[in-house]
Chains A and B, each alone.
Chain A
Amino acid sequence: DGGITQSPKYLFRKEGQNVTLSCEQNLNHDAMYWYRQDPGQGLRLIYYSQIVNDFQKGDIAEGYSVSREKKESFPLTVTSAQKNPTAFYLCASNPTSGTDTQYFGPGTRLTVL
């Protein structure tokens, strides 16, 4: 099956810990994105990458880091510098060839204990 996978589905973090959220796609899409969603709010862009080994900050990049070493993978690290990380994290991808349509993975719900 082609698609976007995210793991884990649920993640619990203690204050002061860094955690890494996984995002993998086998759609051969060039662009990948990380969003954060808080209850009752829309999606806010954290980071995006349009090509391997290149990525750009979105609107709320502080306290987060990413890498794009492979086309299929775009992991997100939530660092201890992120003061309020409890949220629903969504990864998306886009083929970039003539469309802005983005397709989403199932999401990771992160809770800080």
Chain B
Amino acid sequence: QKEVEQNSGPLSVPEGAIASLNCTYSDRGSQSFFWYRQYSGKSPELIMFIYSNGDKEDGRFTAQLNKASQYVSLLIRDSQPSDSATYLCAVAGGYNKLIFGAGTRLAVHP
């Protein structure tokens, strides 16, 4: 059974700080990794995807992938109260399927 693990949180950070969200996965053969943001009562929206080891930056967001350690993370710089949401990590599971973690709830306080 392929698994994706995330700390459920809540992760509480002050406004302006860096939020670090972590995810581990069990399938060593996974090639594609995704971060989705989900506001309460809403559907998930894609923030970033990453395929290669290392860092990928998009604005205030940086995704980091370490396939040897089976670890993917999302950094949010200059965190804002509007970043308060649940962040879902997803890993490609073959046949165009994604396996989702349970999500980490982030709370950014002024």
- Residues of A that sit less than 8 Å from B by CB: 31, 33, 35, 40-43, 45, 48, 50, 56, 58, 90, 94, 96, 99-107
Contact = CB atoms under 8 A, between A and B. Distances in A.
A103 B88 contact: no
B60 interface: no
Interface of B: 4, 8, 32, 34, 36, 42-46, 49, 88, 90, 92, 95-98, 100-103
Nearest to B34: A101
Main secondary structure of the interface of B (DSSP, over half): strand
Contacts of A104: 36, 43-45
9 contacts: A40-B102, A43-B44, A43-B100, A94-B96, A99-B32, A101-B49, A102-B46, A106-B42, A106-B43
Given A102-B34, A104-B43, 18 more contacts: A33-B97, A40-B8, A40-B102, A42-B101, A43-B100, A50-B95, A90-B43, A90-B44, A100-B96, A100-B97, A101-B46, A102-B46, A103-B46, A104-B36, A104-B44, A104-B45, A105-B43, A106-B43
A100 B42 contact: no
B96 to A, nearest CB: 5
Nearest to A109: B41
A57 to B, nearest CB: 12
A58 B49 CA distance: 23
A43 B49 CA distance: 18
B43 A107 contact: yes
Contacts of B103: 42
Contacts of B90: 102
B2 to A, nearest CB: 10
Contacts of B102: 40-42
Contact of A100 (B4, B43, B44, B92): B92
